[in-house]
Each structure stands twice: as structure tokens, then as C-alpha cells.
Amino acid sequence: MNDNLKVMEEMLRVLKDIRRGISLLGSTQQKKALESLNQVRGKRKKMYKMFNGKTSLEEIAKRLKTTHENVRLFSIECQKNGLVEFVKGKGRLKYPKKII
């Protein structure tokens, strides 16, 4: 039983180290994402505000009087920067949702 306790304590120590590393990486990535978000202006800023996971790219394009392609490209750029994830929408569509 004592050996099991030692193994579990070692596992806990390793998991804590892993958690610290992930937190550090996550904070660095979040800082980069926030810096890139601060550079967003004009229609792109409005687009980002509309990325709520409930509004389609087409609807965002209509409301902002721009093309679907502009919204699609910006949403993909945001996804690559860790600012947006795509969630299931109506049918087979996926809608952009802000992470930050």
C-alpha cells in the first residue's frame, strides 16, 4: 500500500508540472491573440463582435453590407490566431464563436 501511495504522489507531482507548463503556454498564446485583436478596426471589428456562435457568416455579411467571402476569410484568420472557434449551427453549417 505504501508503494501505491508513493506512485500516486509522483503522478500528482508530474501532473502539477504539466499543468504549470500548459498554463504558461496558454497565457503566451492568449497574449498574442489579444495583441492581434487590438489591431482590428472597422468592419472587421464589427464582424468579431458578431461572432457569437448563433449568427451565420451569411447573416453577418448581410448586416454589415459586405461579402460572405470577406467574413469567411476573417473568421478563418481569427481561428488561426486562437480568437474564434466554429460551433455547430443550423444543418451542416458552422458558426464562428469568440473565445476571448
> What whole-number percentage of the chain has pLDDT above 70?
90
Grid coordinates representing 30 are: 492568449
- Using alpha carbons only, what angle is made at residue 15 by residues 14 and 20, rounded to the nearest 5 degrees? 100
Regarding predicted confidence, which is higher, 2 or 20?
Answer: 2
Query: pLDDT tens, 23-58?
Result: 666 666 777 777 777 777 889 999 999 999 999 999
> What pLDDT is recorded for position 1?
61
Mean pLDDT computed over every residue of the chain: 86
Task: Quote the pLDDT of residue 56.
Answer: 94
Question: Could you give phi then psi for residue 17, rounded to 5 degrees?
Answer: -65, -45
Cα separation, 49 vs 84, in Å, equals 11
